[in-house]
Structure 1
Amino acid sequence: MLGQPLQLLQKPGVSQLGTALKVASTRLLQILAISTGTYADKLCPKVVQSLLDLLCSQLKNLLSQAGVNLSSLGKKPEDVKYENSSNLEKKDFRALVHKQHTAELHLGDFLVFLRRVVSSKAIQSKMASPKWTEVLLNIAAQKCSSGVPLVGNLRTRLLALHVLEAVLPACEASMEDDQISQVVEQLFSLLSDCMWEAPVAQVKHAVQVKERVQELRLQGEGEEEDENLPIQEVSFDPEKAQCCVVENGQGLTHGSGGKGYGLSSTGISSGCYQWKVCGVFLSADP
């Protein structure tokens, strides 16, 4: 993926051949894309179109990763992306959220790279096609049934509009009126959504996420409490008892001689401790 930063990490005992090939092929594709964007007017149109088709497929793939990360639950992405998933474990939920956030960042990085490729009018005119404008508008304007943007990262959506800003002025006079009307309609619809619908939907979504996180946190605390209940035998040090007698190492019995105390052999740093205190009063016979 062009949108994913790749680098070799030294891992002992792990072969780096696959990663090295992936990095090399990605860098080669980046060089070819930048060179084609710079010299597009001097290259064969078929060569330029082939590269643009490859970049478009990469962009669609990244969009699918950023928009449907919860599709594995067996529901439609629009219905499942922002609803509470009671069957997910805490770690799985966090992993999915992190994966979605990472995919959106990769999509934004790819758009930054794509903006550098769109440097000549020859590239811009070829990208002013329904295939390109549709995917760019989907990144910027597509939303779920709840009204929340499909791509939640604001930077990524603005970068899609930035690429559109460079592409649309290169539209030829022969461009179909239906395409122009569709682009204008979607842009004004996006403006309306950002002003009225998106803020309300995002507030509701934030509340749902907060409730879900709180629920998982409470479940996690309950599980951790069950797991973190070691039965520790608290013992007392007989040599550090004053006016007390240590019985069986765990019982501290007050003796004669006034006030007394006993020191346990285990320090108390944190946690919950339960003590059992028994009071026995002995009366002297007359």
Structure 2
Amino acid sequence: MLGQPLQLLPKTGVSQLSTALKVASTRLLQILAITTGTYADKLSPKVVQSLLDLLCSQLKNLLSQTGVLHMASFGEGEQEEGEEEEKKVDSSGETEKKDFRAALRKQHAAELHLGDFLVFPRRVVSSKAIQSKMASPKWTEVLLNIASQKCSSGIPLVGNLRTRLLALHVLEAVLPACESGVEDDQMAQIVERLFSLLSDCMWETPIAQAKHAIQIKEKEQQIKLQKQGELEEEDENLPIQKYPLTQRKLSVA
């Protein structure tokens, strides 16, 4: 995907064309973003708007991926996943532990990718000509979602603090230009969400994150105990070798 930092990994016998195209697309988008931010006053408004639409679209896609990975690892879909795991009698605790940790790593990587991508809108928004074009509901909405959207458990959808702060930095540059491009009721909603975010960061989020950390530890402990139980069952089910006592052995004894 565009904007997602990728690395070429050496794989014997596997074509690297797809990965190379993704890396090249990412680099091209970075160059276009920096160039547009530098020469926005001299470029055509359609060119600038096309780039901003592309950046906004990619930002929404990355945020959507982050939300999906969050629910898959330890979010709103946890209960359904738990029911499926209970049905899998033959699944080992070690496999579940690896899958759980792998899901957490993927979620963390997705949040980092989202933060890395926000660096380029932050550079682009330094131009006043671009600020006026980014002063639209679709941009303020996606930036506020990154900074303040929560899961049903109360924890932020994007847990990485750097990523959320970058979204607020971009929003900080966009808001002054919203006075003429955004209606009063929309501005009121933005202000309300910002104050709600401030309240959550002070009171609700720390408690929710503490509970979430405890749940993760309990999940890991549960998987560990399940693995130990399976090992004990294997030890109990070991076949006992029988040594028949012949008449000769009895006489010797």
Whichever residue aligns with residue 6 of structure 1, its letter is L
SS at match of 1:41: coil
Distance 1:121 1:56 in 2: 18
Whichever residue aligns with residue 77 of structure 2, its letter is V
Judge conservation of contact 1:108–1:156 (CA < 8 Å) in 2: yes
Judge conservation of contact 2:136–2:181 (CA < 8 Å) in 1: no
Cα offset for 1:226? Answer: 5.9
Q: Deviations over 1:62-99 (max 9, x none)?
A: 101111226569xxx96326998364433322222111
Tell me the TM-score normalised to structure 1 length: 0.72
Judge conservation of contact 2:147–2:167 (CA < 8 Å) in 1: yes
Distance 1:225 1:13 in 2: 42
Judge conservation of contact 1:68–1:81 (CA < 8 Å) in 2: no
Q: How does 1:54-203 map to 2 (within 5 A)?
A: 54-69=54-69, 79-80=76-77, 85=82, 87-88=84-85, 89-203=96-210
SS at match of 1:40: coil
Could you say which residue in structure 2 is the equivalent of 1:276?
none
Could you say which residue in structure 2 is the equivalent of 1:254?
none
User: How many residue pairs are counted as aligned between the two chains?
Assistant: 231
Distance 1:167 1:70 in 2: 28
CA 1:132/1:183 → structure 2, altered by over 3 Å: closer, same or farther? Answer: same
Cα offset for 1:9? Answer: 2.5
SS at match of 1:42: coil
CA 1:41/1:172 → structure 2, altered by over 3 Å: closer, same or farther? Answer: farther
Judge conservation of contact 1:83–1:208 (CA < 8 Å) in 2: no
Could you say which residue in structure 2 is the equivalent of 1:221?
228
Judge conservation of contact 1:40–1:120 (CA < 8 Å) in 2: yes
Are 2:31 and 1:21 aligned? no
Could you say which residue in structure 1 is the equivalent of 2:93?
none
Judge conservation of contact 1:139–1:151 (CA < 8 Å) in 2: yes
- Choose between structure 1 and 2: higher strand proportion: 1
Cα offset for 1:181? Answer: 0.7
Tell me the TM-score normalised to structure 2 length: 0.81
Distance 2:75 2:217 in 1: 19
Judge conservation of contact 1:70–1:80 (CA < 8 Å) in 2: no
Q: Deviations over 1:255-274 (max 9, x none)?
A: xxxxxxxxxxxxxxxxxxxx
Q: Deviations over 1:230-267 (max 9, x none)?
A: x8xxxxxxxxxxxxxxxxxxxxxxxxxxxxxxxxxxxx
Cα offset for 1:3? Answer: 4.0
Could you say which residue in structure 1 is the equivalent of 2:243?
none
Whichever residue aligns with residue 6 of structure 2, its letter is L
Distance 1:200 1:7 in 2: 37
SS at match of 2:190: helix
Judge conservation of contact 1:84–1:212 (CA < 8 Å) in 2: no
Q: Please say which structure displays the higher CA radius of gyration.
A: 1
Judge conservation of contact 1:118–1:166 (CA < 8 Å) in 2: yes
Could you say which residue in structure 1 is the equivalent of 2:241?
none
Whichever residue aligns with residue 25 of structure 2, its letter is S
Could you say which residue in structure 1 is the equivalent of 2:33?
33
SS at match of 1:10: coil
Cα-Cα RMSD? 2.9
Q: Which runs of 5+ in 1 are unaligned?
A: 232-281
Distance 1:214 1:86 in 2: 18
Cα offset for 1:12? Answer: 2.1
Matched residues, percent identical? 76
Q: Greater relative contact order (Cα 8 A, min sep 6): structure 1 or 2? A: 2
CA 1:81/1:111 → structure 2, altered by over 3 Å: closer, same or farther? Answer: farther
Judge conservation of contact 2:135–2:175 (CA < 8 Å) in 1: yes
